[in-house]
A and B are shown apart, each in its own frame.
Chain A
């Protein structure tokens, strides 16, 4: 007979369940005054960053649902998106039309990348996260090969502004002036001094709606089953391998669109570096929002993006105030990103080990000796 949880129990339950976001709120509350930024400035920054980064973080949800952990392979989607942008810029298509064209062109590439990633991850069951991480590095190498050597030589690039001075290979930085903020400004809205990227938020809301609806479909339900116990799902007739691949493909496509949205806001494509920290920062944000390797939901995404970016923005100035060097603040925020990922996977691995031990014992039944 369990007694009803009292008020104190509920409060402590909330605290423990959301320890990470709470810790971050405390940390940031301490750092904001140090940084000297005004509330208005911070709010403006957060509105921008929510628009810019949420889509990418949302793309991490489906693989977690399917039990594949943190999908560091979203960088493959990011790279697909970037190739889409390069091509569209090459063709001289600008504005929102260019943006959507880039998405359309990049989609088949993202599907291919997602399919490859899904197959590789199926062959590395139990090691999905580290495999997706290294796969990301590997494909980055292939991407660089294509963009640095093959484009311009074997794949013709008309727009000479894109090409390096030696005659082939794409430039390091491409100004996306045609596409810059095209989605953000599509539906203009200003609240006080802050411009709100309405169209982008609508896009994000549509994605949230899609994810919510998806969980109610057979495919989404199957994914949840596969994510909890592959053997039981297989025995009941669910096609486990195929379901996992679909999860990764969807994640990669969403990351592709997410990266395009990200880049249209920033306005510049750093051909060789824009995607370097995509996975790390998206994963860190999601975890800071209270998600774990095995469980993540839409609120985790938005809470995470806000907390992560608040920390990101205030760290350099807070570092300068506290330690006399902005560099320390910058190193600090990178350390926090990696650190939170490290802590989350340690907790997850430790819990998994404990669960395996407990499951072995529960086989024998409830009888005591």
Chain B
């Protein structure tokens, strides 16, 4: 009895509720005409699509900068990289690699400035992050219309100027990771090996980083900044590095997301994208100042699982579309819950 209570305390009620909900959805699925193998594929694919974005939450949480509501900045860097790659007409693997390459300077620059800003506002990082994110997306809305892109695949037709709202990756690098060494069983099951391998690789890099001297210092900074300072660590520098890492992961994350989704979404696309990533890591067991890779994996699977299963099961059962509402309630509810948990007073 005590072991169960211990498990409940450690896992937290929201996680357990969501886990059980997901399990029951999988069990109920066949009886409403949903194929389990199709659902599993959907869940795994969505895991791969979102995983790296959620991974990007970890460094900032670990250094005490809070949940990265400013993920749109990283996403914008990724969008810039992707659009430049298409503008230059790169396709296939070269296109994807090119996108990553072009994204890098933007991600580094944006991450660095964002980090400097956050260092000046210690204690209120999350609110600032949210509005820096919103303002940047709004600013880019204007930019997408003004930047000198020419590729006919991207701009408005009939002699318009400015980029379209969504740009198809068909013919460029659509599904380039998904299809790499993909495993297909029957007509309804596909395992997107390439994408999952890429996620594993990015996760491994983060794991390795936190095992270095700098990574260790970063963890201490989030755990107790006064302790870290007393040990001679430059707290501001560590925080800036974590913000740059988060931004870079955000940029690469959106590229992986897009290759699977098939479209680049500009303008207001990135606006609310931070929220699902934040919710996912919280569901996985992270708190406002502690997160690890396990939280990322568990959280993303649970969250994307719920998002995949609930609408399809319920839609089939009661013939209507609940997906949007479910997404809002689950993700925002989880975040409010996490924000009201009492944590160690931040200094």
Contact = CB atoms under 8 A, between A and B. Distances in A.
A331 B135 CA distance: 11
B126 A144 contact: no
Given A124-B339, A130-B127, A331 B121 contact: no
Contacts of A331: 138, 141-142, 145
A177 interface: no
Interface stretch (A8-16, A18-26, A35-43, A321-329): A321-329
A335 B134 CA distance: 8
Contacts of A339: 135, 138-139
27 contacts: A124-B339, A126-B123, A127-B127, A130-B126, A131-B336, A133-B130, A134-B339, A137-B275, A137-B328, A138-B332, A144-B325, A145-B325, A328-B146, A331-B142, A334-B138, A334-B141, A335-B138, A337-B138, A341-B134, A342-B131, A345-B127, A345-B131, A349-B120, A349-B121, A349-B124, A353-B120, A353-B122
Most buried by B among A323, A334, A348: A334
A196 interface: no
A140 B328 contact: yes
Contact of A131 (B121, B122, B146, B339): B339
Contacts of A126: 123, 346
B121 A346 contact: yes
Interface of B: 69, 117, 120-124, 126-128, 130-132, 134-135, 138-139, 141-142, 145-146, 162, 275, 320, 322, 324-325, 328-329, 332-333, 335-336, 339-340, 342, 346
Nearest to B321: A148
Most buried by A among B124, B145, B146, B324: B124
Given A328-B146, A353-B122, A335 B141 contact: yes
Contacts, number: 114
A353 B138 contact: no
Contact of A352 (B124, B138, B275, B339): B124
Contacts of A108: none
Nearest to A70: B127
Nearest to B327: A141
Given A131-B340, A328-B146, A350 B132 contact: no
Contact of B320 (A141, A166, A356): A166
Contacts of A120: 336, 340
B65 to A, nearest CB: 13
Contact of A350 (B69, B120, B342, B346): B120
Interface string A254-270: 00000000000000000
B12 to A, nearest CB: 15
A141 B138 CA distance: 23
Q: A-B pairs with the 4 shortest C-beta distances?
A: A141-B328, A349-B124, A349-B121, A335-B138
Contacts of B128: 342, 345-346, 349
A127 B138 CA distance: 24
Nearest to B332: A138
A142 interface: yes
B142 A332 contact: yes
B339 A130 contact: yes
Interface residues of A, number: 42
Contacts of B162: 325
A107 to B, nearest CB: 24
Q: Is the interface of A mostly helix, strand, loop or mixed?
A: helix
Contacts of A144: 324-325, 328
A138 B340 CA distance: 14
Given A133-B130, A331-B142, A141 B122 contact: no
B340 to A, nearest CB: 4
Contact of A138 (B121, B122, B138, B333): B333
A368 to B, nearest CB: 26
Contacts of B145: 325, 327-328, 331
Q: Is the interface of B mostly helix, strand, loop or mixed?
A: helix
Most buried by A among B128, B320, B322: B128
A356 B122 CA distance: 11
A91 interface: no
A341 B141 CA distance: 18
Contacts of A30: none
Interface string A143-160: 011001100000000000
Contact of A127 (B126, B131, B142): B126
Contacts of B333: 138, 141
A50 interface: no
Contacts of A57: none
A353 B126 CA distance: 15
Given A130-B69, A331-B142, 10 more contacts: A131-B339, A135-B336, A141-B332, A141-B333, A328-B146, A335-B141, A339-B135, A346-B128, A349-B123, A350-B121
A144 to B, nearest CB: 5
Nearest to A332: B142
A123 interface: yes
A74 interface: no
A129 interface: yes
Given A130-B130, A342-B128, A352-B123, A335 B328 contact: no
Nearest to A140: B328
A212 interface: no
B140 to A, nearest CB: 9
Most buried by B among A328, A337, A338, A348: A338
A345 B332 contact: no
A137 B69 CA distance: 14
A134 B332 contact: yes
A353 B121 CA distance: 7
Interface string A71-106: 000000000000000000000000000000000000
Given A335-B135, A341-B131, A138 B141 contact: no
A127 B335 CA distance: 12
Contacts of B275: 134, 137
Contacts of B134: 338, 341-342
Contacts of B139: 335, 339
Given A145-B325, A331-B145, A349-B124, A137 B320 contact: no
Interface string A308-334: 000000000000000101011001101
Contacts of A335: 135, 138-139, 141-142
A338 B139 CA distance: 9
